[in-house]
Amino acid sequence: MTSQSGVIRRLVGVYHADGGLRGELAYVVGKVRGTAECALCDITHGALGRKREWRHLVPELGVPVDLVHLNERSPEIRAASEGRTPCVLAVTDDGPVSLLGPADLAALDGSVDRFAERLAAAVEATGLHWERPPTPTPRRS
């Protein structure tokens, strides 16, 4: 019998920026000036908001996906991500497990498809498993 502790109940992506009007504005200004970057933002967002590819990927994963800013983290997520953002964590019955860190996300160059591949590899490498296996569907261009 498999332990339930290794089951991914949800994913949490932590942006390397504060949320809210002030935080978003500071990030945009920093991005333009070249003083701020967030590889997770580059994966989930394009110039006009959330990427279509991202919106199609999330339901395929089969678990809830929460995206939070630095100032929106719960104490548990803060403890697991402090100093290691942007990142993606798997939340299990035993707590959060780091799947992708800043370097992992930066290496994806904003690609949602590469993110999905790297996420699957990270899940396998950690020995975790999905509550409900992902169900890939054909992507629309």
Residue with tokens 């990427």: 51
- How far apart are the C-alpha atoms of 45 and 49, rounded to whole Å? 5
Query: Is residue 18 scored above 90 in pLDDT?
Result: no
Under a CB-based contact definition with an 8 Å cutoff, are residues 77 and 85 in contact?
no
Q: Let me know if residue 59 belongs to a domain.
A: yes
Residue with tokens 């991914």: 8
Q: Let me know if residue 67 belongs to a domain.
A: yes
Sequence-ordered list of residues with C-beta below 8 angstroms from that of 24, at least 6 positions apart, any chain: 17, 18
pLDDT at residue number 2: 41
7-8 vs 65-68, strand pairing mode: unpaired
Tell me how long the chain is: 141
The pTM of the full predicted model, rounded to 2 decimals, is 0.85
Q: Let me know if residue 138 belongs to a domain.
A: no
Q: Let me know if residue 14 belongs to a domain.
A: yes
CATH number at residue 8: 3.40.30
pLDDT in tens, 70-118: 999 999 999 999 999 999 999 999 999 999 999 999 999 999 999 999 9
Q: Let me know if residue 92 belongs to a domain.
A: yes
| Phi, psi for 115 (deg, rounded to 5) | -60, -50
Q: Let me know if residue 140 belongs to a domain.
A: no
As given in the structure block, the two tokens for residue 24 are 């978003």
Residue 22 structural domain: 4-130
pLDDT in tens, 47-68: 888 999 999 999 999 999 999 9
Q: Let me know if residue 44 belongs to a domain.
A: yes
Say how many domains are in the chain: 1
pLDDT at residue number 31: 67
